[in-house]
Homo-oligomer: A and B are copies of this chain.
């Protein structure tokens, strides 16, 4: 029992004691988690292990439990007396004390010879929605609060965390300022339509048949407000204060799409840099950033664990696809992304490439590629595979102005005058299978030209007065990009559906938990 004394008040007031009546256990105490224990070669007489039972195997005189605690995809082998396993099933939370020693079996180097088992949390094995057998991805999406307990899903959580840490390090080292642009906003970056609206003062009445809503909108913010669809415009304002900014923040689209690539709520990584009129600069940042992320993954324990899973037949959240994305494929992806010098091709050249492919009978498409209709998913896939060679991301640049939003800079005439007529200085980054991962451009930084572009695109100036202001008082040439963070995780982890890399996915009709 520890005593905690109020440092300044121990004399005047009764000292207090925070300990519980029963034996306490503590995060802060020096103890190793399963990952640390497995990777430490040392033996230990009275090792304490806290975790969840992954499986139990009972023999006549001996029983084995595989135990994990979310620190690694590996399990620790606990050796127990069969009579001590009566209450143990897949999911039970336990505290084990035992001797950590070289294993008798050959499947692991060490095992825990258990002296003492305490059940911290019982498991209702019969009704547990997570069962130790194959369960479809569709089913698991109905129980997002329990799904991360599956070892592969826990690994996906750890990899998300690692990628965030890599990005934070990268931008910090490059002198970017991490910012928190607003979520509730009055602007709609890409034109109205697919936004969620925000209101207050809704009164809930609970009826027998569920929950009903009476909207009594009191205009909390005076005029209607929306959930942001992109932080770009706000980032442009912040960039003009500190030159280079980035954010990784939630973004919303009220699209009724039901695809493996779209969510209603998703994380977007966005960055803006000032003092450049060279699109290459923006692409270079994207390339270096993703290269850093992929390099970290290649070197990391989590990366190695994922390759181990993809190389085995361990139950996966995306069952069938797992067979397609092998460990070898994944490693090639990471290496392709870690390497520098990604190919770049103009939109005009990409269309020509597609048309040549059709003419030469090298490819067939449902929709004939042409300059006006843009690159459809099937076209992007072909371009990504052909130009990138399968594992290297590809920049497609200089799209027609008609296909892109008002805020993009026009391409300027090039030395040899080709391919830039009525195009904008922008790029999409295509990756194999997933198609567009990043979109970026130089921004129109001149007031008159911006106003003309807004008028041409039918964007009402009134709600974007503030954005025009940025061009009135010391505007500078600048550019930036946005990356679909959840899609990046799909690609890096070989997960085919974005609903399976997001802990609590929201899409049309679905907002569980």
Complex interface bits, A199-230 against B, C-beta within 8 A gives 1, otherwise 0: 11110101000110101010011111101000
Distance in Å: Cβ of A226 to nearest Cβ of chain B: 8
What are 17 A-B interface contacts by the 8 Å CB criterion? A7-B341, A13-B345, A16-B344, A17-B414, A19-B278, A25-B276, A70-B241, A121-B474, A121-B475, A128-B472, A154-B241, A165-B172, A179-B503, A182-B265, A182-B504, A197-B198, A211-B224
Distance in Å: Cβ of A126 to nearest Cβ of chain B: 11
Q: Among A215, A472, A512, which residue has the most Cβ atoms of chain B within 10 A?
A: A472
Which A236-268 residues have C-beta < 8 A from chain B? 237-238, 240-245, 249-250, 252, 254, 256, 264-265, 267
Complex interface bits, A167-191 against B, C-beta within 8 A gives 1, otherwise 0: 0100010011111111111110000
- Stretch among A78-86, A279-287, A311-319 lining the B interface: A279-287
B93 touches A352 (CB 8 A): no
A19 touches B414 (CB 8 A): yes
B157 touches A414 (CB 8 A): no
Is A105 interfacial (CB 8 A cutoff)? Answer: no
Determine the chain B residues whose CB is within 8 A of the CB of A353 once the complex forms.
9, 12-13
B238 touches A148 (CB 8 A): yes
Distance in Å: Cβ of A366 to nearest Cβ of chain B: 24
- Stretch among A325-333, A368-376, A415-423 lining the B interface: A415-423
A221 touches B510 (CB 8 A): yes
Known: A70-B241, A240-B149. A26 touches B281 (CB 8 A): yes
Interface size class of A (residues with CB under 8 A): 35 or more
B145 touches A6 (CB 8 A): no
How many Å lie between the Cα of A391 and that of B254 in the bound state?
A: 47
B198 touches A223 (CB 8 A): no
Is A359 interfacial (CB 8 A cutoff)? Answer: no
A278 touches B349 (CB 8 A): no
How many Å lie between the Cα of A143 and that of B470 in the bound state?
A: 11
**What 4 A-B pairs are tightest by C-beta distance, nearest first?**
A148-B241, A70-B242, A121-B475, A200-B254
A199 touches B196 (CB 8 A): yes
Residue of B nearest to A288 (CB): B28
Distance in Å: Cβ of A289 to nearest Cβ of chain B: 13
Which A98-141 residues have C-beta < 8 A from chain B? 120-124, 127-130
Is A413 interfacial (CB 8 A cutoff)? Answer: yes
For A469, give its contact among B21, B92, B145, B168 (CB under 8 Å).
Answer: B145
How many Å lie between the Cα of A184 and that of B146 in the bound state?
A: 19
Distance in Å: Cβ of A215 to nearest Cβ of chain B: 6
Q: A6-B345, A93-B475, A120-B476 are in contact. List 7 more A-B contacts (CB 8 A).
A: A8-B387, A20-B412, A24-B277, A28-B280, A33-B243, A121-B476, A179-B503
Is A463 interfacial (CB 8 A cutoff)? Answer: yes
Which A1-43 residues have C-beta < 8 A from chain B? 1-2, 4, 6-9, 12-14, 16-22, 24-28, 33
How many Å lie between the Cα of A278 and that of B18 in the bound state?
A: 7
How many Å lie between the Cα of A469 and that of B128 in the bound state?
A: 9
